Amino acid sequence: MINTVVLTGRLTRDVDLRYTQSGAAVGSFNLAVDRRFTNQEGNREADFVNCVIWRKAAENFANFVHKGTLVGVEGRLQTRNYENNQGQRVYVTEVVVENFTLLEPRSSQQGNNQNNSYNNNNNGNNNAPQENPFGTPQQSNSGNNNNSSDPFAGSNDQIDISDDDLPF
């Protein structure tokens, strides 16, 4: 049998990190996942998926993400049940996350106030190595001082793409 779930979405709230009596970390969060189609008004709807992550991965996940972060998760679908205080049986369906991927650089997650620290930390010296959001050194382009995320910005070359180059 195959039980594999792969989702890409944004966190609707910060991770709720707790610890079991035996000391195992468990994090729970909701992931907003856009649907592929639009409704009659032309708006894209989203599904809100309950997710749970365990142990060291839960601690790491809680340390690196917050509300609004774009993440990819991989895991399995699980349904559990319990009896609430009123004696009713409650069923919970959730994704048990086994692997996750951060899909945004840290600078965009931390907001605009700290975003400039990755782009403008060389005090005008264009030859000094800069730290990119992924923590690896990166040599600046001394000829172009454009900090745009577009790699073709400032290039006056026109890109010509024919229909034969498109995969669809």
pLDDT in tens, 137-152: 444 444 444 455 666 6
Give per-residue pLDDT as tens, 80-124. Answer: 999 999 999 999 999 999 999 999 887 665 553 333 322 333 333
To the question of domain 5-104 being in CATH 3.40.190.10, the answer is no
For the chain, the three-class secondary structure string (H helix, E strand, C coil) is CCCCEEEEEEECCCCEEEECCCCCEEEEEEEEEEEEEECCCCCEEEEEEEEEEEHHHHHHHHHHCCCCCEEEEEEEEEEEEEECCCCCEEEEEEEEEEEEEECCCHHHHCCHHHHHHHHCCCCCCCCCCEECCCCCEECCCCCCCCCCCCCCCCCCCCCCCCHHHCCC
Q: Domain boundaries in the chain?
A: 5-104
Confidence of residue 125 (pLDDT cuts 50, 70, 90): very low
Global pTM value: 0.60
